[in-house]
Structures are given as structure tokens and as C-alpha cells.
């Protein structure tokens, strides 16, 4: 565009105001010379010639007039409404959206996207009339769809201020504004930073701009905190449909918001944990359905492949998003299913890794108020989401790890579980799970000290003895549905004994017992009361060795016999001829342990006689997720055999290899997985 501006030395005479253009003030052209046939252009030194940008040259006042006219026409009563200018205004912003798409088939008069400079003027104009936007939803959505992340800093600052003004003046749009920002948590495409004629903006800078915008809005608008919490919950991606990269990016960005929105810390952590448990349960159900154990190890062992995809926020390469799609064409349905499962496991693994990373600085800070608050929140999450969920397999290791950061936290966690397992509501579903979690924590926690181990075991024994006295007089035989709490406590004690029997041997000065000293001075001296308690319970009419998980009973019997703690082999032989189904019909419905009855379907998933027995459910069994297992180094106590005691398969060398494998698998229910132990 060429602008002719008169030099200031001789200002021209201004025309008179008239409806018609009056050219009388212009100099008359000189008559054409008869000797020349060509047109000539005369340059006047008094005229300043400037080349102006096509879009930028539009004055701000003119833009303001356009915006005013468009809004007034749109806000008129229906009979007088004129949306022509309104639609043209909307198309200005639609043309600046990343997709450059025009909704509803509308055609923009702009052949090219408006420049950043022109968009600034329209934002300034809209900011001055933001109260009129309440009834201009389509226009507001067009503005919110503008690619603002990839423009210069001045535009970003102006745009974010507009968002703040809009959210403050029209609260109804606040959630929409936050949804647009949070929607980028899944993915910020590097293409957003490549706007023609604009400096390139890297992905990391665009992600930082998202958080700066949220920080500004939260500081400006008091109600933005609750609205952001709702937005995060509403925008949280579905783990079945979201890519691994996108899902992990959303979790990472959600955790980052806690840095400038500490008021939302509990809500964000709870939301992530809640969704994590759902994935954990789904993965475990899928693994249970696999045909063989080899597939399970393949899924867990390979879940960490292509971890580089998770760090998309640190890279500007979008090519990896669908890089594997072509190979899916040649895969069988079974292979696709296994691949999808492996991808879900990778999400589980990576999110757990993020949570371990998130909590660790707090516990390492030494600020006791913050540490205590974080630990109490972990226990609350565990009690709310993990404990009632029978199938959770990995999420519980968060509290397992951080509970061992100090003996005080170990005692706190064990105390919570003990109260749930032995409290007045001990027939509830949660109490039966609590007994299993307590036993597994005491047995597997490498940093749990001897004092706590003995204290918990003694208190469990006292409660078991109380239950035995309450039930035995009316008992007609072993019955899981009627006496479920008793059997859950008994199984917890058997399991703890198998792992921690060394801590129950009394020594001078309470020193740790060495394996080679066990039988040096005759019979071991056991912790007072535990032998009598277990003997009375085991040989009572409730007969816990018939109802508890066979793998645990078998291991306890072998260890107890070898250590001369208790000889139960004859009872085990007698129990082989006992049918639990014959005792179930004897339970009067009105007197049944209704909590245990409701829990029976989860404590025992077997069919036939095994349906009336407890599962070997101990939730801190080996952790195999490849990426996040590094956090548990030193936390985990692996199975340690009894000195001088041989396994059954060592005594029967003539057994076939299949029998040996079967025996090893049975032992694995209580011991460690061979592959895990070898690591």
C-alpha cells in the first residue's frame, strides 16, 4: 500500500465538508504539451512516500469501530439484528486458529491469516468491550482457538491479559478459558511454534507459556482454583484412547500446576491416584487372563520400551506420535491386544515413576510439617482408593516406599492397618484387606525394625485369641463365610512367620540371630506367647490350616516343623480328607460374618473346594515394573530360605520337570518370582 503524505512545509488547503468529494483544493493539472505524446510522472519533494504493511496499516481506531459495529449489530433485538460484521470479525480470529478451518461452511473474506500485529489491535478492541461478550459465545470461542502459543512475547502477554479480563468480567467463560489451556496438557504440537513470518517458538517455551497463563489467572481470579480443579478432572485423558505420550504429558503438567497452585495439591494428587488405580486394576485383570506366565513377563518386562516418547515436552519432533501405526496392519488380533496391554502397563509404570519423583523432594526436604502432611495424604489416598480395591497391584507401593522413610511412618502405617484389621468393624471388607496389607508390609518391608515386627505380631495374636474364644463354643467346623475375619488374621500371622521367624527368636541382649547359631544351644527360645497363641488357634475347631491359602499353609508347616516351633504335618494330612463344603451349610444365615460373606468373592476366586479357602493375596509381593522399580531399591525384603531345610523338589529327584515347575510355581505364591530374585 502506498501512502502519500504531504510534506509539512506547505500544508494543503483542507476541503470543505460536503457529501460529495470536493477537489477544488487540488492544483489543476498542467495542460499536455502538444509536442509530447507520452505521460510523464512528476515527483514532488514535498510528498513523503512510505510502503505500509497490508494488515498492520489498519489503524487501531478503525479496528475499534469495526468491533463496536460488529458487537452492536449482533446484540440488537432479533428483528434488527445484523450479523454481517460480527461474522467477519469472527473470521478474523478463525483465520488465526491452528487449523485455519472455517466452521459451518462460512467463507472468510481474508485470503490469508491476519498478522500478529493486527490481531493485537483486535484484542485491544475486544478488551475494551469485554462486558459485551457475554452473549457472543461463538466469537469468544473463536478468540480462544487462536494460536497464541507460537507468537511473540508481546502478543502472548496481551492475550493472557485478555483471558484474565474475560474470566473476571464474564465468569461464565472462566471454565471454557481453563479448558482451552488444560486441553494443551496432553500435547503441544511443535507446529504451533512455526507461524509464517514469526520467530520460531520451541515446544518447551510454549509449555511454559501455558503454565504462566494459568499462574496469572489463578492469581487474578479467586474462583479460578476450583474451576481449574474441575477442568483437570474433566480434561483428564482416557487411558484406553490416549497415547502413552499424551497421557504421561498430562500427568506431568498436572503435577507442575501444584508448584503455583498449592491449594490444589491434594485434589490433583488424589485425581492422579484415583485414575492410576483404575489402570492398575485393569492391567491385573488382563494379566490374569493371559494364557501363560511367559506372556505376563513379556508384558511387564517390555513395558519400558520407547520411553523417549514420554519426553515429548522436551523435544520438537512430532513424527513419533503415530510412528508405530504402520506395523499394526500386519499384526494379529492377539498381537494387537498384547501390544495395547503393554502400552497400558507402560503408562502405569511411567505415572508411578512421576509420582515417586513428585513426592521424594518433599520427604527429603526435612520440613516436618510438609513431610507429615504428604504422608498423611498418601495414607488417605491408600485408604480411599487402594485398600477397597482387591486387584490393585502396584499403586500401593507408593505408601510402602515412603512409610519406610522413618520408623515413625512405618509405625503410623502399620497402626492404621492394624486398627482396620482388628477394630470394632473388623467384619468389614476393608478390615480383611487390611490384614493382608499389614502382613505383607511387615513381611516385605526391609526397613521395618524388629520392635515393630514383634509388636504387630503379638497384637495380631491377641486379637486372634479373642476371636477364637468368641467363635469356638458355637463352631461346628471351618467356615470361611462365617469366620472370615479369624482366618484373615490367622493367614496374616502365618505369612509373617514364614518371612520373619528369625525376629521371633529371643537372644541375649536381643541381638540379631545368625542362621548358623539357631540350633547351637538346643531349642530356640521364642517370643513369649506366640507359640501358645498359634497352637491353640491351629488346633481349634475353626481349623485355620484348612481354610488359609494352601501355599502359605504348606510353607508354614515345613518351616515350623524344621525349626521345631510346631509340628502340624498330621493335621495337614487329616485336613486332606476334610470337605469344607459340608460345613458351609451348617452356618445359620443370621449369625454369619456378613462382612466376610460379602468379601468371600474377592478373598477366594477359586472354584470347587478352593472356593472355600482364602487366596494367597499379599499385595506387596514382587514389584516388576521396569522403570519405576528403581525407587524400591533397599525397601524390599526378598525371600530367604531356612538354613538346612530342603524344598520338596530336592527330596524327590525322580520327579519330572513338569512336576518341578509346578512345585516352583506353588512356592512362588509365597516366595519370590525367580526372575525378580535374579535381578
The residues, ordered by sequence, that sit 6+ positions from 284 with a Cβ below 8 Å of its Cβ are 391, 392, 393
Clarify whether residues 308 and 409 are in a common domain. no
The angle, 0 to 180 degrees and rounded to 10, between the axes of the packed helices 265-289 and 293-301 is 150
Q: Which segments of the chain have a pLDDT < 70?
A: 1-56, 99-111, 291-329, 425-429, 513, 515-521, 580-610, 647-679
Q: Over the stretch 308-353, which tens digit does the pLDDT of each residue have?
A: 455 545 555 554 444 454 455 677 888 888 899 999 999 999 999 9
Clarify whether residues 299 and 194 are in a common domain. yes
Q: Is residue 359 part of a domain?
A: no
pLDDT score for 520: 66
Evaluate whether 441 touches 499 at the Cβ level (below 8 Å): no
The residues, ordered by sequence, that sit 6+ positions from 644 with a Cβ below 8 Å of its Cβ are 562
Between CA 556 and CA 491 the distance in angstroms is 10
Clarify whether residues 159 and 296 are in a common domain. yes
Q: Over the stretch 489-509, which tens digit does the pLDDT of each residue have?
A: 999 999 999 999 999 999 887
Evaluate whether 391 touches 283 at the Cβ level (below 8 Å): no
Between CA 435 and CA 647 the distance in angstroms is 28
- The helix or strand, by DSSP H or E, that contains position 3, with its residue range, turns out to be strand 2-6
The residues, ordered by sequence, that sit 6+ positions from 192 with a Cβ below 8 Å of its Cβ are 98, 147, 149, 150, 201, 206
Q: Is residue 285 part of a domain?
A: no
pLDDT score for 320: 43
Evaluate whether 358 touches 273 at the Cβ level (below 8 Å): no
Clarify whether residues 298 and 447 are in a common domain. no
Clarify whether residues 486 and 608 are in a common domain. yes
Clarify whether residues 68 and 190 are in a common domain. yes
| Burial class of residue 554 in the structure, from the number of CB atoms within 10 Å of its CB (0-12 exposed, 13-18 middle, 19+ buried) | middle
Q: What letter does residue 184 receive in the DSSP assignment?
A: T
Query: By residue range, what is the domain housing residue 606?
Result: 396-622
Clarify whether residues 400 and 320 are in a common domain. no
Clarify whether residues 421 and 302 are in a common domain. no
Q: What letter does residue 481 receive in the DSSP assignment?
A: T
Distance of CA 27 to the CA centre of its chain: 77
Between CA 196 and CA 113 the distance in angstroms is 9
Clarify whether residues 301 and 442 are in a common domain. no
pLDDT score for 423: 82
Clarify whether residues 320 and 455 are in a common domain. no
Q: Is residue 435 part of a domain?
A: yes
Q: Is residue 439 part of a domain?
A: yes
pLDDT score for 643: 80
pLDDT score for 334: 83
Clarify whether residues 89 and 185 are in a common domain. yes
Between CA 522 and CA 501 the distance in angstroms is 17
pLDDT score for 414: 98
Q: Is residue 133 part of a domain?
A: yes
Distance of CA 67 to the CA centre of its chain: 44
Between CA 604 and CA 303 the distance in angstroms is 29
Look over the chain and give the mean of its residue pLDDT values, rounded to a whole number: 82
Q: Is residue 529 part of a domain?
A: yes
| 470, three cell numbers | 468368641
The residues, ordered by sequence, that sit 6+ positions from 198 with a Cβ below 8 Å of its Cβ are 116, 150, 151, 152
Residue pointed to by grid coordinates 485491544: 124
Q: Is residue 453 part of a domain?
A: yes
Clarify whether residues 413 and 501 are in a common domain. yes
pLDDT score for 335: 83
Between CA 398 and CA 653 the distance in angstroms is 42
Q: Is residue 385 part of a domain?
A: no
The residues, ordered by sequence, that sit 6+ positions from 4 with a Cβ below 8 Å of its Cβ are 47, 48, 49
At residue 49, the 3 state secondary structure works out as: strand
The residues, ordered by sequence, that sit 6+ positions from 391 with a Cβ below 8 Å of its Cβ are 280, 281, 284, 285
Smallest Cα–Cα separation from 229: which of 198, 207, 206, 262? Answer: 262
pLDDT score for 390: 78
Smallest Cα–Cα separation from 164: which of 239, 215, 99? Answer: 215
- Number of separate domains in the chain: 2
Amino acid at each position: 500500500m502506498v501512502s502519500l503524505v504531504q510534506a509539512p512545509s506547505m500544508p494543503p488547503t483542507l476541503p470543505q465538508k460536503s457529501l460529495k468529494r470536493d477537489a477544488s483544493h487540488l492544483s489543476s493539472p498542467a495542460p499536455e504539451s502538444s509536442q509530447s505524446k507520452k505521460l510523464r510522472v512528476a515527483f514532488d519533494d514535498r510528498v513523503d512516500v512510505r510502503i505500509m504493511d497490508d494488515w498492520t496499516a489498519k489503524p487501531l481506531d478503525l479496528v475499534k469501530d469495526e468491533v463496536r459495529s460488529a458487537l452492536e449489530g449482533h446484540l440488537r433485538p432479533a428483528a434488527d439484528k445484523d450479523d454481517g460484521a460480527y461474522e467477519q470479525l469472527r473470521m478474523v480470529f478463525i483465520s488465526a486458529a491452528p487449523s485455519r478451518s472455517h466452521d459451518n461452511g462460512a467463507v472468510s473474506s481474508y485470503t490469508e491469516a491476519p498478522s500478529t500485529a493486527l490481531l493485537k489491535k483486535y484484542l485491544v478492541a475486544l478488551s475494551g468491550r469485554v462486558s459485551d461478550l457475554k452473549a457472543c459465545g461463538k466469537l469468544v470461542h473463536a478468540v480462544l482457538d487462536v494460536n497464541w502459543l507460537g507468537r511473540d512475547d508481546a502478543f502472548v502477554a496481551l492475550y493472557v491479559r485478555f483471558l484474565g479480563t474475560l474470566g473476571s468480567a464474564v465468569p461464565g467463560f472462566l471454565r471454557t478459558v481453563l479448558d482451552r489451556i488444560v486441553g494443551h496438557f496432553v500435547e503441544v504440537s511443535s507446529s504451533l511454534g512455526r507461524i509464517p513470518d514469526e520467530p520460531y517458538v520451541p515446544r518447551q517455551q510454549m509449555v511454559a507459556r501455558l503454565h504462566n497463563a494459568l499462574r496469572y489467572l489463578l492469581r487474578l481470579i479467586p474462583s479460578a482454583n476450583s474451576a481449574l480443579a474441575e477442568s483437570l478432572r474433566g480434561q483428564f485423558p482416557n487411558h484406553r484412547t490416549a497415547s502413552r505420550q499424551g497421557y504421561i504429558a498430562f500427568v506431568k503438567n498436572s503435577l507442575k500446576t501444584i508448584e503455583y497452585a498449592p491449594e490444589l495439591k491434594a485434589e490433583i494428587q488424589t485425581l492422579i491416584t484415583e485414575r492410576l488405580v483404575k489402570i492398575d486394576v485393569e492391567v491385573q485383570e488382563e494379566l490374569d487372563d493371559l494364557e501363560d506366565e511367559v506372556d505376563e513377563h513379556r508384558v511387564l518386562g517390555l513395558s519400558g520400551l520407547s520411553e523417549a516418547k514420554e519426553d515429548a515436552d522436551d523435544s520438537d519432533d512430532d513424527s513419533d506420535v503415530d510412528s508405530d501405526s504402520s506395523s499394526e496392519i500386519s499384526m494379529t488380533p492377539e498381537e494387537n491386544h498384547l501390544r495395547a496391554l503393554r502400552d497400558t502397563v507402560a503408562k502405569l509404570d511411567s505415572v508411578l515413576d512421576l509420582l515417586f519423583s513428585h513426592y521424594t523432594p518433599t520427604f527429603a526436604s526435612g520440613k516436618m510439617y510438609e513431610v507429615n502432611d504428604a504422608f498423611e495424604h498418601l495414607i488417605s489416598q491408600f485408604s480411599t482408593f487402594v485398600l477397597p480395591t482387591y486387584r490393585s497391584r502396584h499403586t500401593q507401593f507408593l505408601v510402602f516406599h515412603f512409610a519406610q522413610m522413618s520408623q515413625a511412618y512405618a509405625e503410623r502405617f502399620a497402626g492404621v492397618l492394624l486398627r482396620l484389621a482388628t477394630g470394632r468393624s473388623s467384619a468389614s471388607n476393608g478390615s480383611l484387606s487390611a490384614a493382608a496389607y499389614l502382613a505383607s508390609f511387615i513381611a516385605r518391608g526391609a526397613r521395618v525394625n524388629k520392635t515393630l515386627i514383634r509388636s504387630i505380631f503379638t497384637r495380631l495374636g491377641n486379637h486372634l485369641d479373642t476371636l477364637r474364644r468368641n467363635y469356638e463354643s458355637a463352631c461346628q467346623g471351618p467356615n470361611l463365610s462365617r469366620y472370615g475375619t479369624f482366618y484373615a488374621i490367622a493367614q496374616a500371622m502365618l505369612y509373617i512367620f514364614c518371612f520373619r521367624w528369625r525376629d521371633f527368636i529371643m537372644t541375649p541382649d536381643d541381638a540379631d540371630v545368625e542362621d548358623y547359631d539357631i540350633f547351637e544351644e538346643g531349642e530356640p527360645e521364642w517370643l513369649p506367647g506366640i507359640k501358645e497363641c498359634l497352637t491353640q488357634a491351629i488346633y481349634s475347631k475353626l481349623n485355620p490350616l484348612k481354610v488359609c491359602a494352601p501355599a502359605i499353609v504348606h510353607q508354614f508347616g515345613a518351616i515350623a516343623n524344621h525349626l521345631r516351633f510346631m509340628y502340624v504335618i498330621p493335621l495337614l494330612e487329616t485336613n486332606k480328607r476334610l470337605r469344607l463344603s459340608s460345613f458351609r451349610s451348617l452356618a445359620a444365615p443370621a449369625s454369619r460374618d456378613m462382612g466376610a460373606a460379602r468379601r468371600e468373592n474377592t478373598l477366594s476366586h477359586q472354584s470347587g473346594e478352593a472356593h472355600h479357602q482364602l487366596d494367597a493375596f499379599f499385595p506387596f509381593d514382587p514389584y516388576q515394573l521396569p522403570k519405576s522399580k528403581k525407587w524400591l531399591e533397599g525397601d524390599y525384603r526378598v525371600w530367604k530360605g531356612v538354613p538346612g531345610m530342603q524344598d520338596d523338589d530336592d527330596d524327590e529327584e525322580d520327579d519330572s520337570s513338569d512336576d518341578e515347575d509346578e512345585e516352583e510355581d506353588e512356592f512362588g505364591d509365597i516366595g519370590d518370582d525367580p526372575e525378580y530374585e535374579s535381578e
